[in-house]
Chains A and B, each alone.
Chain A
Amino acid sequence: METLLFCLFGGIASAAAINVVVQRRVFYSALSLIICLSAIAGIYMLLEAAFIAAIQIIVYAGAIMVMFLFVIMLLDPFSSSALQDKKKSLGFIGVLLGTVALVLLYSLLKSYDLAQVPRNMEMSQGGVTALRILGSALFNDYLLPFEVTSVLILVAIIGAVVLAQRRT
Chain B
Amino acid sequence: MGILHYLVLSALLFAVGAVGVILKKNVISIFLCIELMLNAVNLSFIAFSRFLNQVNGQIVVFFVMVVAAAEAVVGLAITIALHRARNTLNVDDADIMKW
Contacts and interface: CB of A to CB of B under 8 A. Distances in A.
Interface of A: 2-3, 6, 10, 13-14, 17-18, 20-21, 26, 29-30, 33, 36-37, 40, 43-44, 47-49, 51-52, 55-56, 59-60, 63-64, 67-68, 71-72, 74-76, 79, 83-87, 90-91, 93-95, 97-99, 101-102, 105-106, 109-110, 114-115, 117-124, 130, 133-134, 137-138, 141-142, 145, 149, 152-153, 155-157, 159-161, 163-164, 166
A49 B50 contact: yes
Contact of B23 (A10, A91, A99): A91
B67 A152 contact: yes
13 contacts: A3-B1, A20-B36, A29-B29, A40-B43, A49-B61, A59-B69, A64-B69, A67-B76, A71-B76, A90-B22, A123-B50, A156-B69, A160-B73
Contacts of B46: 43-44, 47, 49, 52
Given A21-B16, A75-B28, 5 more contacts: A36-B36, A109-B11, A119-B51, A137-B56, A164-B81
